Amino acid sequence: MAAQGFGKAFLTASPESVPGPTRSRISLPWFRSVTDITLLLVTTKAGDTLSALESWLPYIAKDTPVVLFQNGLGSQQAVAERWPDRPILAASTTEGANRPEPDVLVHAGTGDTWVGPLTDSASDYTESVVQQLAQSGLQVHTENSIVQRLWQKLVVNAGINAFTALLDCPNGAIVGAPLYRQTIDGLCTEIAALLQADTGEHATPQALRERIEAIAKSTASNTSSMRADVNAGRKTEIDFINGYLMQCGQRHGIATPVNQMLVQRVQAL
């Protein structure tokens, strides 16, 4: 979300999948007025989402759809509860990107993006939002059960991100690390119980481990956002990933000692 005013910001985009010097300099025009906004995409860190919207939404038309692109869970529900009468949607994506320099964005992998409603009024906007996002070249799909979809990504993030931050390694390297091997089965047992209690979905701990390791291996050279945050000295999103699972456990009376250990260790970095 850019500040009001005139001017341009520049970003160098570099598709990692194309060999050689393929960087492109992209102009990002600032909008002149909040009245120009017909679709608001919120790409802040999960912990900044609520405060960012509290600053901006009073100036934005109440029928403007808002799409949340946050990791984990918790921030999305907080926004929907804060503004139940606005069209609030959430997105889940498997697109990969990282920012090695302040003005450089690397597209590290293509994927799919799902968008679905969080508030009642958002259902009327979902198809038009999907169509607008698809014009960018993304593979975008409608997902009426978006929280369920977010849970699927949460499972993978909970099994990868904290380990990459603690071990300071790319995704694929966690699978052979002693810390991971000693704790992943206990972690997956917790996640399976939480998934069943919170969504009604049944998945065995072994199936969850296989899913996590398949993603870790297919994105072996990628740096997770949590590892990048730790290395850059930024606050991580652990509270909305393994921390959210802890909160879920408290709601359902399910012990989550492995998630608690990971949260405490990441917070101590």
Considering the domain 8-144 in this protein, what is its CATH number?
3.40.50.720
Q: How confident is the model at residue 217, as a pLDDT?
A: 96
Q: What residue spans of the chain are helical by DSSP H?
A: 49-56, 75-82, 126-134, 146-167, 178-199, 205-218, 225-232, 242-252, 257-267
8-144 with 148-267: one CATH topology? no
pLDDT tens-digit series, residues 22-71: 566 655 555 556 667 889 999 999 999 999 999 989 989 999 999 999 99
Beta strands 104-109 and 8-15, pairing class: parallel
Q: How many whole angstroms separate alpha carbon 269 and alpha carbon 258?
A: 17
pLDDT tens-digit series, residues 254-267: 999 999 999 999 99
Q: How confident is the model at residue 28, as a pLDDT?
A: 56
Q: Does 8 score more than 50 pLDDT?
A: no
Sorted by where each begins, the domain ranges of the chain are 8-144, 148-267
Catalytic residues: 153
Global pTM value: 0.87
Q: How confident is the model at residue 13, as a pLDDT?
A: 47
120-121-123 Cα angle (round to 5): 80
Directed axis angle between helix 178-199 and helix 146-167, to 10°?
160
- Per CATH, domain 148-267 is 3.90.1530.30: no
Q: Does 18 score more than 70 pLDDT?
A: no
pLDDT tens-digit series, residues 80-89: 999 999 999 9
Site of tokens 């060999």:
19
Integer CA distances (angstroms), 136 to 132, 151, 204, in order:
8, 26, 37
Average of per-residue pLDDT across 231-239: 95
Q: How confident is the model at residue 17, as a pLDDT?
A: 47
Percent of the chain with pLDDT over 90: 75
Q: How confident is the model at residue 109, as a pLDDT?
A: 75
Please provide the average confidence, as pLDDT, over all residues in the chain. Answer: 89
| C-beta separation of 39 from 64 below 8 A | yes
The residues, ordered by sequence, that sit 6+ positions from 14 with a Cβ below 8 Å of its Cβ are: 22, 23, 24, 104, 105, 106, 107
